Amino acid sequence: MNARVIIFDTTLRDGEQALQASLSVKEKLQIALSLEKTGIDIMEVGFPISSPGDFKSVQSIAKNIKDTKICSLARCVKKDIDAAAEAMSLAKNFRIHIFLATSTLHIKSKLRKNFNEIVEMAIDSVRYALRYTDDVEFSCEDAGRTNKDDLCYIIEKVINEGAKTINIPDTVGYTTPREFSSIIKDIFERVPNVHKSIISVHCHNDLGMAVGNSISAIEYGARQIEGTINGLGERAGNTALEEVIMAIKVRKDILGVYTNIKHHEIYRTSQIISHICNMPIPSNKAIVGSNAFSHSSGIHQDGVLKNRENYEIMAPSLIGLKEVKLNLTSRSGRAAVKHYMDEMGYKDIDYNINELYSSFLKLADKKGQVFDYDLEALAFINTQQEKMEYFSLHFFSVQSVYNGLSTASVKLLCGSKIHTESSTTSNGPVNAIYQALNRITKYNVILKKFQLAAKGQGKDALGQVDILVECDNRKFHGIGLATDIIEAATQAMINVLNNIWKVKQVDKKLKNK
């Protein structure tokens, strides 16, 4: 009988820490719920000791996730372990994941200790974590560059103490598949109590080998794969879980293992995470890229028309990618909108039907006909933008002259009062609007990144604006969507201003305590 491979997702921990702007509690919970529906076995949702915000996010996810086991990261430090356990206390069941560097390089230059001290720290931390749960995972940080004798020795010791899962990370993405599989092979041959634990791997993609290393580890006995959706993560990212999952599915003939993943949820989850994290998926990305199932060559097109299997090793429908043709107008009702969202693979929990329908009607009045990509974009924007609690656009006008000055006038609802400001600049209409908004809010906002993308094709495309700003040494991401790109840019900045306002309210409460 084939063995099961456990899928351990760290999108909300390793993936999130590599983003340009932190996610809100609501955004993290939405991602967690999506991962749960995909059938992820274990979800590493944060590093609670790192910040009050991360602690709160872990608490919220622990309270709401029922079917996936929750996990939090901790160093081999008692206060870290305490924080992880407290943050997950409302979870149905949870795992504490502790890590400690084991390579000579890290031990000497980073920790400034010797190997014997590291072993004692590991043993003590496993014992301490077992006070809170019987599910403790131990990671040998930088295992890919750790002396094999040392690696096998510390693994044996922590298994003796009760660690149920041993993680072997290629922390810096240094090893090749042959090297990495040799490490896994040696562990199984040289650690006498290895059968009492599950061997896991966590590979980084610095040399583009994360998925290859993970697959090679499975071939030599690893039964847990750690990674992220879309390969998000530090530097060049982590193992892309959707690629490992589909490799296991498609090549079950040689791998002889299986997962409990609901494959038809993969595409939807990938899209949700891409939009919320503001991390576009490369068109040539395996499995979920826009070109993954497209064919340009005439020979390939002919072959696919005769038999899709000529040039496709899996059906798009296997990952939940459906070809949908919409014909929605302002006369369409909520039922039609919901039907087409269902057809595209989205569930009720992925979006707010009332907010989506309201945005749909406004867009339909402007465009006449709404397409699938429009509806999908509106759903993501409405989900990502929480209800405007303070700032709301009331009116704007702008005048711009080629090679001349741009003048903008803005009316902004701030709480219950409307404030009006104007600005003139030589840097274009968007900058003029942003300057007027800054005068109203008096926030010291510095624009770091402005990105415009077309959602759809041709004259009917919507403009999506993504911006990254810095305010008070913090980074904030904003997003706006409209048929008018200046309006989209304005909405993106107002989205940012609301996020800044919320953070400032939290800071005030903390100061008053």
Query: 403 and 472, same structural domain?
Result: yes
Q: Ramachandran region of residue 425, left (φ > 0), alpha (ψ -120 to 50) or beta?
A: beta
Per-residue tokens: 366: 């402007």
Query: 173 and 34, same structural domain?
Result: yes
Whether 284 is covered by a domain: the verdict is no
Query: 191 and 164, same structural domain?
Result: yes
Burial class (CB in 10 A: 0-12, 13-18, 19+), 303: middle
pLDDT value of residue 327: 59
pLDDT value of residue 37: 94
Mean of per-residue pLDDT scores for the chain = 89
Query: 339 and 221, same structural domain?
Result: no
Q: Are 335 and 357 in contact (CB under 8 A)?
A: no
Pick from 127-136, 162-171, 418-427, 470-479: least confident: 470-479
Pick from 159-168, 253-262, 478-487: least confident: 478-487
Length of the chain: 513
Which long-range contacts (C-beta less than 8 Å, at least 24 apart) are formed by 503-509?
Answer: 503/474, 503/476
Q: What is the pLDDT confidence band of residue 435, given thresholds at 50, 70 and 90?
A: very high
Whether 383 is covered by a domain: the verdict is no
Higher-confidence residue of 456 and 197: namely 197
Whether 326 is covered by a domain: the verdict is no
Which SS3 state, helix, strand or coil, does residue 258 take?
strand
Helices (H), ranges, 130-263: 148-161, 177-190, 210-219, 241-250, 252-255
User: Could you report the per-residue pLDDT of 463-482, keeping only the tens digit for each?
Assistant: 888 899 999 888 888 888 88
Q: Are 291 and 316 in contact (CB under 8 A)?
A: no
Q: Which helix (H) or strand (E) holds 140?
A: strand 136-141
Half-sphere exposure of 158 (CA within 13 A, CB side): 37
> How far is it, in rounded angstroms, from Cα 152 to Cα 189?
10
Higher-confidence residue of 160 and 462: namely 160
Half-sphere exposure of 408 (CA within 13 A, CB side): 25
Query: 405 and 340, same structural domain?
Result: no
Per-residue tokens: 22: 């932190």
pLDDT value of residue 341: 83
pLDDT value of residue 256: 96
Per-residue tokens: 442: 């008096």
Whether 379 is covered by a domain: the verdict is no
Percent of the chain scored above 90 by pLDDT? 61
Whether 286 is covered by a domain: the verdict is no
Query: 176 and 311, same structural domain?
Result: no
Domain of 305, in residue numbers: 292-321
Q: Residues 91, 222, 262, 320: is their CA dihedral positive or negative?
A: positive
Whether 105 is covered by a domain: the verdict is yes
Helices (H), ranges, 314-441: 334-343, 353-367, 372-384, 429-441
pLDDT value of residue 292: 84
Whether 381 is covered by a domain: the verdict is no
Query: 359 and 223, same structural domain?
Result: no
Q: Is it the case that residue 353 has pLDDT exceeding 90?
A: no
Query: 368 and 307, same structural domain?
Result: no
Pick from 224-233, 438-447, 462-471: least confident: 462-471
Q: Is it the case that residue 506 has pLDDT exceeding 80?
A: no
Q: Are 230 and 197 in contact (CB under 8 A)?
A: no
Query: 420 and 311, same structural domain?
Result: no
How many folded domains does the chain comprise? Answer: 4
Q: What is the pTM of this model?
A: 0.78
Q: What is the pLDDT confidence band of residue 298, given thresholds at 50, 70 and 90?
A: low
Q: Is it the case that residue 324 has pLDDT exceeding 60?
A: no
Higher-confidence residue of 76 and 509: namely 76
Q: Is it the case that residue 421 has pLDDT exceeding 70?
A: yes
Burial class (CB in 10 A: 0-12, 13-18, 19+), 297: exposed
Write the CATH number for 255: 3.20.20.70
pLDDT value of residue 23: 87
pLDDT value of residue 381: 64
Query: 496 and 430, same structural domain?
Result: yes
Higher-confidence residue of 505 and 279: namely 279
The one-letter code for the residue type at 409 is: S
Main-chain phi, psi angles of 306, to 5 degrees: -80, -40
Token pair 């990495």 in the structure block, residue: 180
pLDDT value of residue 102: 97
Query: 211 and 138, same structural domain?
Result: yes
Main-chain phi, psi angles of 259, to 5 degrees: -125, 170
Per-residue tokens: 362: 């406004």
> How far is it, in rounded angstroms, from Cα 77 to Cα 85?
13
User: Could you report the per-residue pLDDT of 183-196, keeping only the tens digit for each?
Assistant: 999 999 999 999 99
- Work out the average pLDDT over 82-89: 97
> How far is it, in rounded angstroms, from Cα 373 to Cα 293?
17
Most confident segment among 314-328, 342-356, 393-407 = 393-407
Whether 104 is covered by a domain: the verdict is yes
> How far is it, in rounded angstroms, from Cα 1 to Cα 232?
33
pLDDT value of residue 107: 95
The one-letter code for the residue type at 401 is: V
Query: 94 and 148, same structural domain?
Result: yes
Spacing of C-alpha 415 from chain mean position: 32
